Amino acid sequence: MRIIRAKDYQDMSRKAANIISAQVIGKPDSVLGLATGETPVGAYRKLIEWYEKGDLDFSRVTTVNLDEYKGLDKWNKQSYHYFMNENFFKHVNLLPERCHLPDGTEENAEKACRAYEALLRALGPIDLQLLGLGHNGHIGFNEPSDRFELDTHCVSLSESTISANRRFFAPDEEVPAQAYTMGIRSIMQAKKVLVAVSGKEKAAMVRTAFFGPVTPKVPASVLQIHSDAVVVADEEALWKVRDML
């Protein structure tokens, strides 16, 4: 696992976007695994900026997102479909039919997960998987558990994840308690994994996940044994591991 140090959020975003750009330029028909959350938004902005300048072409790229809330459709402003559309998809020349997320409207969890897993397998290994880091060490919505959940599955979100995500919802809106998420296998089979981390509230988890034991109780810790995992983190996120770099 390589750690790339960035000065601040802007620098981290630019560095993460550089890695994604290099992937798309080097392999125009890449399969990109994408993430939601606040952290990757700056990188998406950079990619949009470079696309607008004519430096990037997404017309042959396929995207697969990590997760979606169960029960939310793509017009719901809190859905990850909506988030991805607003923050990235609609601003670049990705073909809509090549942008995939789990189907939050499918009430039958087994059916929804089976369909997404089949899609992931049909597409083959993801070329580059972008990840954020949850406060409790989750990646996608793979929550702390007694075992690594390998396939796409329906997860009951932990209290800490629900409360962390409350900031995206209006006070009177309920945060969904369940989500469909890509499993650890697809993430680990990705040829390259890029974890973007920013801010001092992630510093303790950076130390636990990337310098502690590999355990399903800290899902992100599994990335330590990925053959090509890169963490791009800013100074605040790295302050608890400064002496180890």
Ligand X SMILES: O=P(O)(O)OC[C@H]1O[C@](O)(CO)[C@@H](O)[C@@H]1O
Residues of this chain that interact with ligand X (CB under 6 A) are: 35-39, 132-134, 161, 164-165
Check if the beta carbon of residue 6 is closer than 8 Å to that of residue 234.
yes
Residue 27 or 135 with smaller CB distance to ligand X: 135
Check if the beta carbon of residue 234 is closer than 8 Å to that of residue 11.
yes
CA distances from 183 to 10, 116, 120, 149, 243 (A): 30, 10, 10, 6, 33
Q: Which of 65, 103, 106, 136 is catalytic?
A: 136
65 is catalytic: no
Token pair for residue 216?
């399903």
Long-range contacts of 214-218 (CB under 8 A, 24+ apart): 216/144, 216/145, 216/146, 216/147, 216/148, 217/137, 217/144, 217/145, 217/146, 218/137, 218/144
Least Å distance between CB 167 and ligand X? 8
68 is catalytic: no
Least Å distance between CB 38 and ligand X? 4
Other Cβ atoms less than 10 A from the Cβ of 193: the count is 24
Least Å distance between CB 115 and ligand X? 20
Do the bridges between strand 62-65 and strand 99-100 make them parallel or antiparallel, or are there none, so unpaired?
Answer: parallel
Q: Which of 117, 127, 143, 149 is catalytic?
A: 143
Q: Which of 81, 100, 138, 226 is catalytic?
A: 138
Other Cβ atoms less than 10 A from the Cβ of 2: the count is 8
Q: What is the number of the residue whose Cβ is closest to ligand X?
A: 132
67 is catalytic: yes
Check if the beta carbon of residue 245 is closer than 8 Å to that of residue 3.
yes
Least Å distance between CB 198 and ligand X? 8
Residue 161 or 186 with smaller CB distance to ligand X: 161
Least Å distance between CB 144 and ligand X? 12
Residue 39 or 221 with smaller CB distance to ligand X: 39
76 is catalytic: no
Residue 147 or 167 with smaller CB distance to ligand X: 167
Residue 78 or 105 with smaller CB distance to ligand X: 78
Q: Which of 65, 67, 153, 236 is catalytic?
A: 67
Q: Catalytic residue numbers?
A: 67, 136, 138, 143
